[in-house]
Amino acid sequence: MLIDLLRTFSIQQLPMKVLFGKLASEEEILRAHTRQHFERIRATAGLTVRLDADTVACPKSFHCAMRAAGGAIAAVDAVIKGEVQTAMAIVRPPGHHAGPEEAMGFCLFNNVAIAAQHARAVHGLSRIAIVDFDVHHGNGTQAIFNRDPHVLFISTHQARLFPGSGDAGDMGEGAGLGQSINIPLSAEHGDAEYDAIYGGLVSRMLEQFMPELILISAGYDIAETDPLGGMSVTYEGFARIVGHLVNSADLLCKGRVVAVLEGGYSASGLETGVTATLEALSGVVRVDDPRGPLVRLPLGEAARHLHLYREFFDI
């Protein structure tokens, strides 16, 4: 379906270059995962194996997961080398639930974390921001970088949904304390709320962190048509979320931003969200800058979140 979506665009309609990723190498996977985890996933090749209650590897899953991680790496390479200004890795399986040593939530390897580690190891970047707008908390990504002061992880997600993590007070540990920002939201948040959060709070946090690259875990299960989430984001909302992140990248890191596909369980929601993302990344859709209002969250939620964040950010 996503390939069909891409085929609907022509060079005249959207200034887009199609890149093809390679298989990730063992070394690239091991920058984010333990060897034990890598070997466990590799051992599923040619088999059907249940890895947990939700996650099943079929005979070709290992190959697909290696290509998904390689696709995210290829997108980062193209952006940092200046071949393209922005990029999106439209890959499966997704990755943000996969932790250092476990598969979870349909995720085998953590594509966005592997891409971040590649940017550091190969391109010498020292400050990377990962922003996750999937309806589910990116628990695997946070686990990989939980003690790392050089990666800022920001997640907006629906509270009390799978996997049950991502409370506002969970802000990292050790040297990484304050570098994991969780913004759990009650159901029924839509375009206006996400616009305010990303145009205000997220933009200001990024401005103070000063990343050299912004990576997006782009999950489209916040779409109004998605059967698993309780949010109501439309094309306009996705365009504004990504548009704000593009504005931040233009201001902070030479426009370098890479989106990596995560969740999405509605065909129409995926089509709407991916279209909006590609158009925002390509500059066809622009979002007004300067920074928007700080944040509009439900009363109580807002006060609790901002009190915590102000320990680490001037907001």
Active site residues: 97
Give 310's contacts (C-beta < 8 A, 6+ positions apart): none
Angle between helices 35-42 and 61-80 (to 10 degrees): 130
First to last CA, the chain: 41
* β 213-218/128-132 pair status: parallel
Q: Which residues pair with 190 in a beta bridge?
A: 232
Nearest-CA neighbor of 195 among 294, 50, 110?
294
Instruction: Kindly write down the DSSP assignment for every residue of 274-305, as one continuous string.
Output: HHHHHHHHHTSS----S---S----TTHHHHH
The CA R_g of the chain, rounded to the nearest whole Å, is 18
The sign of the torsion formed by the CA atoms of 153, 159, 162, 163 equals: positive
Please report, to the nearest 10 degrees, the dihedral formed by the alpha carbons of residues 12, 14, 15, 16 taken in order.
-120
